[in-house]
Amino acid sequence: MSEACESVLRIHGTPNERQKLFFASRARYTAYGGARGGGKSWALRRKLMGLCLCYPGIRCLLVRRSYAELKANHVRPLLDEYGTLLSYSEGDKILTLPNGSSIALGYCASTRDVLRYQGQEYDIIAIDEATQLSEYQFSIFKACLRGTRDVPRRMYLTCNPGGIGHAWVKRLFVERKFREDENPDDYLFISAQVYDNPILLRADPDYVRQLESLPQKLRDAWLYGRWDVFEGQFFSEFDPDVHICSPFEVPTELHYFVAFDYGFDMLAALLLGVDNAGNLFAVDEFCQSNLTLSEAARHVARLCKGRNVRYAVASPDLWNRRQDTGKSGFEVMQSVLGMPPMCAADNRRVPGWRLLREYLQPAPDAPVLRISSACTELCRSMPALLCDTMRPEDASDEPHAVTHAPEALRYAVMSRAKESISSPRPDNTFRFAKKERSLF
């Protein structure tokens, strides 16, 4: 911190090594955390106050999912630590400093809440527990990071695995898989565990012991900050080391079919195959948004090209007639050259997910389901799917972006199920959808 800042106020407390990296970051978007007890909240408050003191007149925004959480976790500690320096307006929800800098206090529990920030400008934005926000909400806040003054424009995020924002935080900061409009240099992730926080280790050793005594899945997420397991994960049995394979490991002699979930927001099409032992392989995929029915059908046909694809199973709503054309989606798609014979999926959700779990159970020699690493969207979405909080046996429809490929996979396994799907293991006979005869 500069001498000018020290002349105003010396901030007490010694940061640990991970917090020093966080303070030193100059990336446009910096995420800090991963595990519990890494000192995220303390670091976020110190960073905001340091910037406010160094750059008079800057406008900051501090956000959490609810205002009650924000007040308990940040407002009260800030007033305790800087009470003589900060003025707090409960009505305006803002903290101000004598040099003109300010910290607006925001909350974002829903899509409606985030719309209040459209068109606003902030120099610094801090989002606490970013995985509780959707990617859409994050994108709105990104658009607010702008202004004309010659000051840094930065966004700081704290995060733990889990929540509706798990997938986008993991993609950007942990996996570093970027889209064309995203600059990798803008994003930095600083991982921190409770073992990196010596002050907490000394002050509350029981907290560490509590984390160490958790069941394995929770311990991996909360203690070690693993992003492939977390609380609320729908397919806790999904293991990338077991269920994902190289394309070269997929047998060449398979009986192929296609399953797809179509909406204008996303087409998720999976090419699947069954071997003579009844093992199911997700061989390839095509996932893209903003496609018309005929465009989607052409992409499905290309996915099938060169293989003897027996049928395509899709959501039954495609058989509904559309008021604008009088035709059903089925009629439009089935008329495209190369489109396999289409059949309506059994789209019962809970039975479908239950059957898919059976496919994920380990078998004596190999899992019943293997997913080629070429199916990048399916590999990304399966571990990111969340439980529905009101109906734990069902998957949540949020974050919606990760639901499409697993939905298609659910259609696939249900197309091979018997009328009764209560048997403990899936039926390993390859079946034509809606027919009773076997290929063998």
Residues 6 or more apart from 251 whose CB is under 8 A from it? 273, 275, 281
Contacts of 390 (CB under 8 A, 6+ apart): none
- pLDDT on residue 421: 38
Q: Distance between CA 197 and CA 15 in Å, rounded?
A: 9
pLDDT for the residue numbered 271: 97
Q: Which helix (H) or strand (E) holds 50?
A: helix 40-54
Average pLDDT rounded to a whole number, residues 67-88: 88
Query: Half-sphere exposure of residue 327, counting CA atoms within 13 Å on the CB side?
Result: 10
Q: What is the pLDDT of residue 3?
A: 40
**Per-residue pLDDT tens digits for 254-278:** 999 999 999 988 999 999 999 988 8
In the three-class reduction of DSSP (H, G, I as helix; E, B as strand; rest coil), residue 438 is classed as strand
| pLDDT score recorded for residue 199 | 83
CB atoms within 10 A of CB 365: 7
- Give the position of tokens 């496919």: 359
Q: Which residue has the higher pLDDT, 111 or 319?
A: 319
Cβ–Cβ under 8 Å, residues 141 and 114? yes
- Average pLDDT, stretch 172-176? 94
pTM: 0.75
Amino acid in the structure at residue 244:
I
pLDDT value of residue 28? 97
Domain ranges of the chain: 3-222, 240-414
DSSP string, 172-197: IIIS----TT--GGGEEEEEE-GGG-
pLDDT at residue 66 is higher than 60: yes
Q: Tens digit of pLDDT for each residue in 27-47?
A: 999 999 888 888 899 999 999
Distances (CA, A) of 243 to 235, 373, 409: 12, 10, 14
Over residues 329-383, the pLDDT tens digits come to: 999 999 999 999 999 999 999 999 999 999 998 767 666 899 999 999 999 999 9
CB 310 within 8 A of CB 432: yes
> Which residues are registered as beta bridge partners of 287?
268
Right CATH number for 240-414 from 3.40.190.10, 3.30.1490.20, 3.30.420.280, 3.40.109.10?
A: 3.30.420.280
Start-to-end C-alpha separation, the chain: 74
Does the structural domain 3-222 have CATH classification 3.30.750.24? no
pLDDT of residue 149: 86
10 half-sphere exposure, CB direction, 13 A CA radius: 3
Q: Which two tokens stand for residue 434?
A: 């809606």
Contact 35, 222 (CB under 8 A): yes
Tens digits of residue pLDDT in 1-20: 444 444 455 666 788 899 99
pLDDT band at 429 (very low <50, low <70, confident <90, very high): very low
The answer for 376, left when phi > 0, alpha when psi is -120 to 50, beta otherwise, is alpha
Compute CA 396 distance to the chain's CA centroid, rounded to the nearest angstrom: 12
Query: Which pLDDT does position 424 carry in this prediction?
Result: 40
User: Are the C-beta atoms of 85 and 10 separated by less than 8 Å?
Assistant: no
Token representation of residue 21: 């990296």
